[in-house]
Amino acid sequence: MQRKGIAYAIISSATFGLLPLFSVTAMGSGQTPYSVLFYRFLLSTLLYGLFLKLRGESFRVSLRQLLELVVLGAGCYGGTALFLILSYAYIPTGIATTINFLYPVMVALILFVLFGERPSLGIAVAIVLSLGGVALMAWSPGANLSLRGVAYSFITIFCYGFYVVGLNKTGLREVRGSTVTLYVLLVSTIFFGIIALANGGIVPITSPRVGVNLLLLAIVSTIISNLTLVLAVKEIGSTSASVLGSMEPLTALLVGIGWFGEAISGYQLAGIGLVIASVLLVVLGRRKDDGKRQPKSGATRPNAKVKEADVP
């Protein structure tokens, strides 16, 4: 159902927007960015793998799908996580996460250049509104932003854009969302374990507070966020899922205000309004499309069984 896909996309972006809350707190207690990322994906892999094992799910994929998972897991999803957390050391977390949200433009561009897919008028308007909202939320008059931090944030746009498109345009489209999620987490664990060892080693967890933050980072901002993204892309496609990701910078901004004491300006309030408008535009458009496609009484949807199988 379209509404299910919309819900998945909003949950994914909102939970991912909580990433600064857990990761920055952990780094403030002595963890390095590389150790935080390693623990994040290690705990996610162990917890989620155990959950799927208890449910008796099969993890079998083809060799081609495995290669696609390695590329998407390490190069795209892993690259996004790496450069985003590195940017936190140079620019405010809210601005870093907000810049990351520019990825819907990259998604639309990739789909147009590589696959010849033009976004609908409603989606195009929603993209413009969301980008305007993101720009206003990131706007800070007189702020002296670090060029390195901004560059790190912009790299995440490319990585995440290709990740979202890859979920829908590769053989992974035919793999259960839960299986894709587990392999992406596993590949990312190996990737960041190597990076952490190459940059001074993995910092031990020295306090319950650090452990709790890393655990919440693994469950909320990794397992839940990534799984619901995979399911959203399967239900409503890459472009709509990415536009609905506007909840991500909104959540990050609210975390920055409520937890880290960052001030909010009139520009940011206006940006929040535009972001909400863009989400409503996509939601209303999807409901309209869903109504048009609703089968007559007694008929069954051709893909109903396939979609249901994707739900964990």
In tens digits, the chain (312 residues) has pLDDT values of 577 888 888 888 888 878 878 888 899 888 999 999 999 999 999 999 998 999 898 888 999 999 999 999 999 999 999 998 999 888 777 677 777 777 777 888 888 888 888 877 877 887 788 778 777 766 656 555 678 888 898 899 899 889 989 988 999 988 888 899 899 999 999 999 999 999 999 999 989 999 999 999 999 988 898 888 888 888 888 777 777 766 666 676 677 667 666 666 777 678 767 876 776 676 566 555 544 544 443 433 333 333 333 332
Closest to 24 in 3D by CA, of 84, 72, 76, 70? 84
Q: What is the DSSP letter of 136?
A: H
How many Å apart are CA 142 and CA 160, to the nearest integer? 29
- Write down the H helix ranges in 58-146: 63-70, 79-87, 93-100, 103-115, 121-138
Cβ-proximal residues to 79 (8 Å cutoff; 6+ apart), any chain:
155, 156, 159
Would you list the DSSP string of 46-81? HHHHHHHHHTT------HHHHHHHHIIIIIIIIHHH
Closest to 42 in 3D by CA, of 236, 182, 208? 182
pTM reported for the whole predicted model:
0.73
Alpha-carbon distances, residue 295 vs 3, 184, 204 (angstroms): 16, 35, 56
Domain boundaries, the chain: 2-140+161-289
CA 185 from centre of chain: 13
Which pLDDT belongs to residue 240?
76
Which pLDDT belongs to residue 259?
67
